[in-house]
Amino acid sequence: MSEKVLMKGNEAIAEAAMRAGCKLFFGYPITPQTDLSEYLAKQMPKRGGLMLQAESEVAAINMVLGASAAGERVMTSSSSPGVSLKSEGISYIVGSDIPCVIVNVQRGGPGLGGIQPAQSDYFQATKALGHGDMHIIVLAPANIQEMALLTGEAFDLADIYRTPVMILADGALGQMMEPVDFGAKPVRELPAKDWACNGHGHKRLRNIVNSLYIQPEELERLNIERFERYKKIEENEVKYEEYLTEDAEITLVAYGITARIARTAVKLARAEGIKAGLFRPITLYPFPKKQLFELADKTNRFLSVEMSMGQMVDDVKLAVEFKKPVTHYGRTGGVIPSPEEILDEIRRLRREI
Amino acid sequence: MINVFENPKALTDIASHYCPGCTHGIAHRLVAEAIDALDIEGQTIGVAPVGCAVFAYNYFNCDMVQAPHGRAPAVATGIKRANPDNFVFTYQGDGDLAAIGTAETIHAAARGENITVIFINNAIYGMTGGQMAPTSIPGQVTTTSPYGRKPEIQGFPLRISEMMATIDGVAYAERVALDNVKNVRRAKVAIQKAFEVQRDKKGFSIIELLSTCPTNWGVSPVTALDYVREKMIPYYPLGVYKDITASKKEASE
Amino acid sequence: MSGFLFAGFGGQGILFSGKLLAKIGLAHGKQVSWLPSYGPEMRGGTANCSVIIDDEPIGSPLVTKPDVLVVLNLPSFEKFEKTVKKGGVLIVDSSLIDKKSERKDINSYYIPASMLASENGLEGLANVIIFGHMMKATGIFDYAAVEKVLVDSTPKSKPQLAELNAKALSLGYGWQE
């Protein structure tokens, strides 16, 4: 039996990455994710890996591009302002169709913002992480156990679909400790990296990792091909969790740290006889659209709870297709909502029904 | 029958897109000859920049990775750290290496990344059509310095080889020119030496090649070669700026 | 569910105390979470950490209305004393805080932990002394189990520190006003 250890979220991601065979990490210090790279700096040399502190976020993501192009499992991590700097490199990595894992331990913005937890990079992560027609898979853990689990999963998804995968966490999840069990994760079948640039040794044709296609028709073909892959990801990899949604009049939609607070609010509401439920997307891209669309037949209205001014709420609206009203409740700037204030909002909505 | 001329094996048969009279072709050939001479094509990964040489990935027979603008040394770092026994080179122009990618260049050098950087300095932006480069010399007319580069407005050019020589992680830094046969031969020796330095795991090596851009300079190829001799070499003197293998030899003598 | 809040200056061992409690909860098969305040306040400003021990999966890791509040400096007393839940417990290092709670709806305990630490050769262990007193005041968890986790949490390279920690815990646990 494996043992549960008490660990910070940042450290759990780091540990899980090494266990997933991540051999290289490139990063740049930024609060509140720095302990992730500190953990790796200490552990990787002992375990046959390398943690290298780059001169910038820009350089770090390009080192990731290089190591990934060379065929290794590689990761970088940052927090909101740093992720903005990485966006150029992420777009190139997508355009080159190579895998990697990127961690965003979100803090409040815009600008230098603050250092307290936030979920205000949802749009960036799911819709505008880089220039061009592109998405990457975005996973949103809600507890430390899941941070470990989804990190391992992220490396597999990246390799299978040849795409970057982002773990979208926040300062609270990064900094908090919970018990975590690094027990064996299910083994997925992985494709060979026959595209890797690691020296052809005169045994194969040369490989080229590239994102430049001067002929519009060729670039269009490749973009269409990539979006077909996104479709496959949507068919096979959507993850979500439902809590008391079966008979819920009011369905909260929340991800990450907010989902667990919303869950408490749902419990409090139920104790008062209000039929509330919680739908928690675990994959933010692809978003569980189909599941929410179907859920709209069962519930009276949706409440998107986020630590932002309202970003995921747009995706909920798109998914529900105006079948039921969708509203937003959020705190921003690094403020974590309390279960009680979410409960107040549930009560208010109950009165409206 | 004796074969007196053939293409280097490390170059593909694809016809290059470079303009007539441009020295990129010579530079490509010299890099390929060095790869052939050391018989390392199967272990080599090249990194193409953004700029005129972006299509370098089409011309070399080794594995190739194309990097974002200026980031080639960071990409090369990732490749080399993943497979330290491979040979990794970047091929970068002056805008790529000395403007947008200055930080990546300096820090890869400071880390002593065991890679080889081929730096094409033609004092102008070629691919975008003749704009001022960080290495455009004072007085040089470009589309974005139409009255000539004025240091009081556009500042001074960077002397990269001299700067590289001050960095501890740099093992070998030399500036050569591609303006005549003698200098091309010297360039060939320098490039091969840079790869040997990498083979011997001595650290960062950089060869700066003073190159021409007849198209964007608006002159004939022959006049362009004269320009290198008359304007560029005086501003960017040729020579070995750093060679840790030499200083070790001297020390042991 | 029990929410604990430890608060004081950075460097007083606030985060360690929280971690210790979380580990004790884990050793007892409970759900636990530990959330520190982080950032510049870690370096010389006020520091605090939230610990939750529960039988159910934990929602918000942030403790805003603590069942148990342990304070080691005056700013923390002034900020958090009013947030303690009705019927909750307040533990104060009375050698650093010369204020008393006027609340009648909570149980307040005062222990001169920092003074006891310096008097007993336990410099830097006021946090463990006050932790011992909290154990006694709240009655959660068995003393022997707590002592074991404390000793196990001490770096193996510092066996003498484990002994001092055990001494500090016992001193706080047995101390009477």
Q: What is the ipTM of this complex?
A: 0.93
Distance CA A206, CA B61 (A): 6
Residue ranges of domains in chain A, CATH in brackets: 4-237 (3.40.50.970), 240-352 (3.40.50.920)
Nearest residue to A347 via CA among A274, A264, A267, A246: A274
pLDDT in tens, A50-108: 999 999 999 999 999 999 999 999 999 999 999 999 999 999 999 999 999 999 999 99
Q: Which residue has the tokens 């004269």?
A: B226
The number of distinct structural domains making up chain C is 1
- CA diameter of chain B: 61
Q: Residue A75: which region, alpha, beta or left (left: phi > 0; alpha: psi -120 to 50)?
A: beta
Burial of C64 (0-12, 13-18, 19+ CB in 10 A): middle
DSSP symbols for B109-140: HHTT-S-EEEEEE-SEETTTTSEE-TTPPTT-
Nearest residue on chain B to A204, judged by CA atoms? Answer: B42
Instruction: Specify the pLDDT at position B252.
Output: 46
Instruction: Specify the pLDDT at position A188.
Output: 94
Instruction: Specify the pLDDT at position B2.
Output: 80
Please say whether the beta carbons of C49 and C15 come within 8 A.
Answer: yes
Question: Chain A within 8 Å of B79 (Cβ-Cβ)?
Answer: yes
Contact B78 A88 (CB under 8 A): no
Tokens at residue C177, please? 């006003």
The yes-or-no verdict on residue B187 having pLDDT over 70 is yes
In angstroms, what is the C-alpha Rg of chain A?
20
The yes-or-no verdict on residue A118 having pLDDT over 60 is yes
Neighbours of C95 (CB within 10 A): 18
| C122: CATH | 3.40.920.10
Burial of B14 (0-12, 13-18, 19+ CB in 10 A): exposed
Please give the share of chain B, as a percent, with pLDDT higher than 90. Answer: 94
3-state secondary structure of A89: helix
Contact A177 C19 (CB under 8 A): yes
Half-sphere exposure of C143 (CA within 13 A, CB side): 14
Average pLDDT over residues C81-95: 97
Amino acid of residue B168? D
Instruction: Specify the pLDDT at position B121.
Output: 98
Least reliable range by pLDDT among A11-15, A161-165, C82-86, C136-140:
C136-140
Considering only the beta carbons, identify the residue of C26, C36, C60 that sits closest to A339. Answer: C60
Whole-number average pLDDT of chain C: 93
Please, what is the Cα angle at A170 between A118 and A269, to 5 degrees? 70
CA distance C115 to chain A (A): 31
Contact A89 B68 (CB under 8 A): yes
Amino acid of residue C120? N
pLDDT in tens, B135-159: 999 999 999 999 999 999 999 999 9
User: Which residue of C33, C50, C55, C153 is the best one to mutate when testing the A interface, meaning the one whose CB has the most A CBs within 10 A?
Assistant: C33
Cα C129 to the center of its chain, rounded Å: 9
Cα A188 to the center of its chain, rounded Å: 20
pLDDT band at B251 (very low <50, low <70, confident <90, very high): very low
Instruction: Specify the pLDDT at position C46.
Output: 78
Contact A200 B66 (CB under 8 A): no
CA distance C3 to chain A (A): 14
Q: A233-267: buried (b, 16+ CB within 10 Å) or exposed (e) per residue?
A: bbeebbbbbebbbeebbbbbbbbbbbbbbbbbbbb
The yes-or-no verdict on residue A350 having pLDDT over 70 is yes
The yes-or-no verdict on residue A1 having pLDDT over 50 is no
Chains touching A (3+ CB pairs < 8 Å): B, C
CA distance B87 to chain A (A): 8
Contact A59 B43 (CB under 8 A): no
Please say whether the beta carbons of A96 and A222 come within 8 A.
Answer: no
| Nearest-10 crossing angle of helices A80-95, A57-69 | 30
Identify all chain A residues contacting C22, using CB atoms and an 8 Å cutoff.
Answer: 6, 177
Pairing of strands B87-93, B116-121: parallel
Q: Which residue has the tokens 């020390």?
A: B251
H or E segment and range at residue C108: strand C107-111
Q: Which domain holds residue C168?
A: 2-174
> 3-state DSSP helix/strand/coil percent for chain A, to nearest 5?
45, 20, 35
Instruction: Specify the pLDDT at position C10.
Output: 83
| Nearest-10 crossing angle of helices C159-174, C143-153 | 150
3-state secondary structure of A346: helix
Average pLDDT over residues A271-281: 98
H or E segment and range at residue A178: strand A177-181
Instruction: Specify the pLDDT at position A116.
Output: 94
Cα-based distances in Å from A247 to A282, A312, C128: 22, 23, 49
The yes-or-no verdict on residue C7 having pLDDT over 80 is yes
The yes-or-no verdict on residue B253 having pLDDT over 50 is no
Instruction: Specify the pLDDT at position B247.
Output: 61
Instruction: Specify the pLDDT at position B248.
Output: 56
Distance CA B40, CA C21 (A): 59
For domain B24-252, say whether CATH 3.40.50.970 is its number.
yes
Please say whether the beta carbons of A202 and B41 come within 8 A.
Answer: yes
Amino acid of residue A269? A
Least reliable range by pLDDT among A216-220, B42-46, C59-63:
C59-63
Q: Residue C44: which region, alpha, beta or left (left: phi > 0; alpha: psi -120 to 50)?
A: left
Burial of B158 (0-12, 13-18, 19+ CB in 10 A): middle
Distance CA B45, CA B23 (A): 22
Instruction: Specify the pLDDT at position C156.
Output: 86
Please say whether the beta carbons of B83 and B34 come within 8 A.
Answer: no
Please say whether the beta carbons of A301 and A250 come within 8 A.
Answer: yes
Q: Residue A321: which region, alpha, beta or left (left: phi > 0; alpha: psi -120 to 50)?
A: left
- C contact set with A (CB within 8 A): 19, 22-23, 26, 31-36, 38-39, 57-62, 64
CA distance C119 to chain A (A): 34
Q: Which residue has the tokens 């001074």?
A: B156
- Cα torsion at B32, B36, B40, B43 (round to 10°)? 50
Considering only the beta carbons, identify the residue of A32, A176, A339 that sits closest to C34. Answer: A176
Contact A6 C32 (CB under 8 A): yes
Whole-number average pLDDT of chain A: 97
Question: Chain A within 8 Å of B64 (Cβ-Cβ)?
Answer: yes
- Cα torsion at C114, C33, A316, A314 (round to 10°)? 30
Tokens at residue A243, please? 């809590």
